[in-house]
Amino acid sequence: MKAEYINPFVGAAVNVFQMMLGVTPQRGQLSARKGIFTSQQCNIVLGVTGQLEGQIIIGMSVFTADKIASKMLGTTIRTFDELAASAIAELGNMISGAALTELASKGINCNLSPPSLIRGTNVRISTLEIPTLVVPLQTELGDVEINVGLMERAK
Partner 1 sequence: MAKRIMITDDALFMRVTLKNILTQHGYEVVAEASNGREAVELYEQHKPDLVFMDITMPEMDGLQALKEIRARDPNAKVVMCTAMGQKQMVVEAIQAGAKDFIVKPFQPERIIEAVQKVA
CB 12 → partner 1: shortest distance, Å? 9
- Element at 59 (helix H, strand E): strand 52-60
By CB under 8 A, residue 38 contacts partner 1 = no
Instruction: Considering only the stretches 32-40, 93-101, 124-132, 135-143, report the one whose residues sit in contact with partner 1 under the rule CB under 8 A.
Output: 93-101
By CB under 8 A, residue 20 contacts partner 1 = yes
Q: Of 3, 19, 30, 128, which one interacts with partner 1 (CB under 8 A)?
A: 19
* Nearest to partner 1 of 53, 90 (CB atom): 90
* Sequential DSSP letters for 107-118: T--EEEPPPEEE
Distance (Å, whole) CA 59 – CA 145: 5
Residues linked to residue 143 through DSSP beta bridges, in sequence order: 138
Residues linked to residue 37 through DSSP beta bridges, in sequence order: 124
Residues linked to residue 146 through DSSP beta bridges, in sequence order: 58, 135
∠ Cα 128 133 126 (to 5°):
20
Question: Binders of partner 1: how many residues, by CB under 8 A?
Answer: 25
* Nearest to partner 1 of 28, 47 (CB atom): 47
Binding site residues, partner 1, CB under 8 A: 16, 19-20, 72-73, 82-83, 86-87, 89-90, 93-94, 96-98, 100-101, 104-105, 109, 111-114
